[in-house]
Structure 1
């Protein structure tokens, strides 16, 4: 009797993840505004109605790609307590590095993503991180240094996303610590 290997069927979750992966790649390469749902569906070899089955609109698809970053950042700032600033910087860099492709997408398309209210959320996260790093009573100069430190690390995750983590992280974290005047 010939051996028969059953074909592997993909479930709705697999298709949804494939759509998100292809969309993320195209959004990073071309920008959100310059990527059509038709391009995404053609790249996947599915129909546009099949894509609409999983995502009601391009905005829903974009939001589904960005939401894990939002959730991780919300959890990160909520669960942290003041402590070792270098550890916080290191953990923060790990977080933004995991989501670097989404950060690239956001930076490329800030105006196209305004409906997600990311700008205000990002500033709120930064304010919370500054309190965790330096305490609640920071001088204006300390606040500026912390903004440079955190913003610089985010910029490194975007600018050097194509490099290996071990080449970027130590330099970025050390530069952030220097900007903060940490020993």
Structure 2
């Protein structure tokens, strides 16, 4: 039987880590347990990931990269529904990572994700309601953004396209946008 390629092994490690961390929490899962789930030794796991933090970062980094790319050109004048749709798509694709984080918020601190999320929200708010929104505008924007994220987690059985449209309609309604 041929040995798996290094990238395949790293992917299997990430999959096992994501499943176990989502189930038990990041500090309740040992690297040995992850290695055993994959069928490798702990030293082999260390070949791919230098530390627990390195492994967790590898789980979260694709989400960070995709949201950063999504928001790269966001600003006042962006089409709100298009921007929210792109944001929904990015977080929907990584909802397993978001669910893991919601199950163990210590992951936020481990990879300093809270800072990134706060920055994303500020950029989205500015793009949606401008740099100096009223309290009402700010509240509606925060509700719309947070609601999109929540929908990707709490409604796992709803087909993606259907959920996307319903969530975007609700976010638009919250922001007072007209439907077209």
Task: Say which of 159, 166, 169 aligns to 2:154.
Answer: 159
Secondary structure at the residue paired with 2:27? coil
**1:66 is aligned to 2:60:** yes
**1:96 corresponds to 2:91:** yes
- Point out 4+ residue stretches in structure 1 off by more than 3 angstroms: none
TM-score w.r.t. the length of structure 2 is 0.91
| Structure-1 residue corresponding to 2:49 | 55
SS of aligned partner of 2:168: helix
Q: Is the 8 A contact 2:143 2:174 kept in 1?
A: yes
1:32 aligned onto 2:17: no
Deviation of the 1:154 alpha carbon? 0.6
CA drift of 1:71 comes to 1.3
8 Å CA contact 2:98–2:153 kept in 1: the answer is yes
Equivalent position SS for 2:146: helix
Q: Note the residue ranges of structure 2 that are not aligned, 5 or more in a row.
A: none
The Cα offsets for residues 48-92 of structure 1, whole Å up to 9 and x where unpaired, read as 111111111111100111011111112221233432211111111
The CA deviation at 1:111 is 2.4
2:110 matched to which residue of 1? 115
Work out the CA distance in 2 between the residues paired with 1:164 and 1:31. Answer: 28
Residues 125 and 141 in structure 2, CA contact (< 8 A), matched pair in contact too: yes
Displacement of 1:157 after TM fit?
1.0
CA contact (8 A) 1:156 1:168 kept: yes
Look up the SS of the partner of 2:72 in the other structure. helix
The structure with the larger Rg is 1
TM-score between both structures, scaled by the size of structure 1? 0.89
Query: For the Cα contact (< 8 Å) 1:101–1:161, is it kept in 2?
Result: no
Q: Does 1:171 align with 2:158?
A: no
> Matched residue pairs, number?
177
Task: Decide which moves more: 121-130 or 72-81.
Answer: 72-81
1:23/1:40 contact within 8 Å kept: yes
Computed over aligned residues only, the root mean square deviation of the Cα atoms, in angstroms, reads 1.6
Matches within 5 A, 1:11-22: 11-22=5-16
Which residue of 2 is the match for residue 79 of structure 1? 73
Unmatched tracts of structure 1, length 5 or more: 1-6
